[in-house]
């Protein structure tokens, strides 16, 4: 109930703030129906028998509501090229109430949506275009005789805005043993698909316009630069952080609709000090370091983060979970974050592929209890009702939307 009320109140605040800001008539997209498709039902079929399965089964066929609890991670990259218009629209149609643009910059300082500054060789068709000559490290094929792997590195900062927009998005993948560009690019995992590629790349400003038209909230992540800062001698890290928020202000987006994210606590402190209207929704992406000593340190710093003005922390899923007598339960980190008065979001459901072998990195703390894809719903239930997260990033938001609409009423 607590999470449902938060989601409803947040979306109501977004709508009210938009009206007060004079954003005009509601978008034609605002009342589009949510279509979660068959995947949540497939996971439900695979869920072990019990109270959770009975309750979720009772919701099959009911309308699914859009919710801020369902946060799109890079769009819907389980099946769509990440950070593309098509991926964002897929996430929206699956009920995500919050959409994410990971933000980096180009050679001419335009802000664009990419998961990292130097991933174009994996996530676009750049290597098959004349712009490949502009890459920081051009493609070098693998050498089977020596075991040398194929390499390439292409960065947004190698290109202008217009050059970036001329590229096409593809599924994030690269074959390190490829001996030619075509083989290097054609490496999508078997549990994903190229069916919905290519995709349309977007600037940060274009993503804001799209998200405004859809009536959703927005969660930009300021990606760490992979070039020396200040860039071109006078574009500092602080300038970059300021520019990201300035693009929301320029578009007339109320701060209540924006959840800016960063892995860098100094950036959070910069936003809190210099952009206080965004402070309450700013998200600290906690990346550890983990391990026994690292986890203890991460837990110990939580009260200090709260005292500095941070309101929301976002660790990966496994950090919030533990096992007790074979059951998945909230971790010491999760309990400590709540005790410090911090809200929690987490990442990223539907990113690990099939869970038959323990679920991989995202489930590492509870891998002994993970042996089937249906366990995603069990994990989601513990995160929502026991840990008390206020939102879950997902590579296929339909699953979270279906769950939240059923269980968090």
pLDDT digits over 189-217, tens only? 999 999 999 999 999 999 999 999 999 99
Non-local CB neighbours of 168 within 8 Å, separated by 6+ positions: 124, 125, 197, 198, 199, 200, 201
Give the whole-angstrom CA distance, residue 388 versus residue 167: 41
Domain boundary among 199, 226, 254: 199
pLDDT at 11: 43
61 pLDDT more than 60? yes
- The reply to whether 262 and 349 lie within a common domain is yes
pLDDT at 291 over 80: no
Q: What is the mean pLDDT of residues 137-148?
A: 96
The predicted structure's pLDDT at residue 64: 97
Work out the number of other CB atoms within 10 angstroms of the CB of residue 144: 9
Residue 183: predicted pLDDT: 98
Asked whether the predicted pLDDT for residue 158 surpasses 90, the reply is yes
SS3 content of the chain, % helix, strand, coil (to 5): 40, 15, 40
- Assess contact for 65 and 405: CB atoms under 8 A: yes
Q: 3-state class of 3 per DSSP?
A: helix
Dist. CA 288–CA 15, nearest whole Å: 35
35 lies in the same domain as 132: no
Q: What is the pLDDT of residue 293?
A: 66
Kindly state the average pLDDT of the residues 65-88: 98
Indicate whether 278 and 333 sit together in one domain. Answer: yes
Query: In this structure, are 243 and 304 located in the same domain?
Result: yes
| Sheet strands (E) in 189-340 | 199-200, 217-218, 221-222, 261-262, 283-285, 312-314, 321-324, 327-330
Can you read off the two tokens belonging to residue 176? Answer: 């390190």
230 and 369 in a common domain: yes
Say if residue 171 is in the same domain as residue 223. no
CB 227 within 8 A of CB 157: yes
49 belongs to a structural domain = yes
H/E stretch holding 334 reads helix 332-339
Domain-ending residue, one of 149, 167, 199: 199
What span, in angstroms and rounded, lies between the C-alpha atoms of 100 and 91?
10
Q: Does residue 108 sit within a domain?
A: no
Q: Based on the domain organization, do 286 and 298 belong to the same domain?
A: yes
Q: Looking at the structure, do residues 96 and 77 belong to the same domain, yes or no?
A: yes
**Which DSSP helix (H) or strand (E) runs through 55?**
helix 51-57
Q: Is residue 170 domain-resident?
A: yes
Q: Which two tokens stand for residue 86?
A: 């098509």
Residue finishing a domain among 180, 199, 218 = 199
Which residues have C-beta within 8 Å of that of residue 14, sequence separation ≥ 6? 217, 254, 256, 257
How large a percentage of the chain has pLDDT more than 90?
90
Query: What's the whole-number average pLDDT of the chain?
Result: 92
Torsion of Cα atoms, 98 then 222 then 213 then 22, to 10°: 100
Residue 78 has pLDDT above 70, yes or no: yes
Task: Please state, in angstroms and rounded to a whole number, the distance separating the CA atoms of residues 99 and 79.
Answer: 16
Query: What pLDDT, on a 0 to 100 scale, did the predictor assign at position 3?
Result: 43
Detail the DSSP E strand segments found in 170-210: 199-200
- If one counts the domains in the chain, the total is 2
Is 391 contained in some domain? yes
CA distance 96 to 315: 20
Which tokens is 155 given? 């960065």
Same domain, 314 and 234: yes
Q: Which domain holds residue 158?
A: 116-199
In sequence order, the β-bridge partners of residue 332 are none
What separation in angstroms does the CA of 263 have from each of 15, 225, 268, 280, 296?
29, 12, 8, 16, 18
pLDDT at residue 278, rounded to an integer: 97
- Sorting pLDDT into bands at 50, 70 and 90, what band is 274? very high
- At 294, the pLDDT band (50, 70, 90 cuts) reads confident
């Amino acid at each position: 109930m607590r999470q449902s009320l938060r989601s409803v109140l947040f979306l109501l605040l977004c709508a009210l703030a938009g009206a007060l800001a004079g954003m005009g008539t509601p978008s034609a997209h605002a009342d589009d129906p949510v279509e979660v498709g068959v995947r949540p039902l497939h996971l439900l079929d695979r869920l072990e028998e019990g109270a959770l399965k009975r309750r979720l089964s009772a919701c099959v066929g009911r309308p699914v509501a859009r919710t801020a609890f369902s946060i799109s991670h890079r769009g819907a990259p389980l099946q769509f090229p990440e950070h593309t218009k098509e991926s964002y629209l897929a996430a929206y149609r699956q009920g995500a109430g919050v959409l994410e643009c990971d933000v980096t910059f180009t050679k001419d300082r335009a802000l664009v949506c990419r998961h990292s500054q130097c991933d174009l060789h994996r996530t676009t068709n750049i290597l098959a275009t004349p712009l490949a000559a502009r890459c920081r490290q051009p493609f070098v094929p693998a050498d089977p005789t020596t075991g040398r792997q194929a390499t390439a590195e292409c960065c947004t900062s190698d290109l202008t805005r217009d050059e970036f927009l001329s590229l096409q998005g593809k599924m994030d993948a690269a074959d390190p043993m490829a001996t030619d560009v075509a083989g290097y690019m054609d490496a999508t995992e078997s549990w994903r698909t190229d069916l919905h590629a290519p995709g349309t790349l977007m600037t940060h400003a274009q993503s804001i316009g799209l998200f405004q038209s859809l009536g959703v909230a927005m969660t930009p992540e300021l990606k760490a630069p992979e070039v020396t800062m200040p860039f071109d001698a006078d574009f500092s890290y602080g300038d970059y952080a300021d520019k990201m928020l300035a693009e929301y202000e320029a578009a007339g987006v109320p701060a209540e609709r924006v959840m800016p994210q960063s892995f860098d606590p100094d950036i959070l402190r910069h936003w809190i000090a210099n952009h206080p209207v965004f402070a309450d929704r700013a998200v600290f992406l906690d990346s550890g370091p983990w391990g026994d000593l690292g986890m203890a340190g991460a837990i110990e710093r939580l009260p200090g983060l709260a005292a500095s003005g941070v309101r929301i922390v976002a660790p990966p899923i496994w950090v919030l979970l533990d096992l007790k007598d074979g059951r998945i339960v909230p971790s010491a980190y999760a309990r400590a974050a709540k005790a410090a008065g911090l809200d929690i979001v987490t990442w990223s459901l539907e990113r690990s592929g099939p869970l038959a072998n323990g679920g991989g990195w995202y489930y590492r703390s509870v891998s002994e209890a993970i042996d089937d894809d249906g366990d995603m719903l069990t994990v989601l239930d513990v995160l929502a009702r026991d840990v008390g997260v206020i939102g879950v990033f997902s590579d296929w938001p339909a699953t979270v939307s279906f769950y939240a609409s059923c269980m968090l009423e």
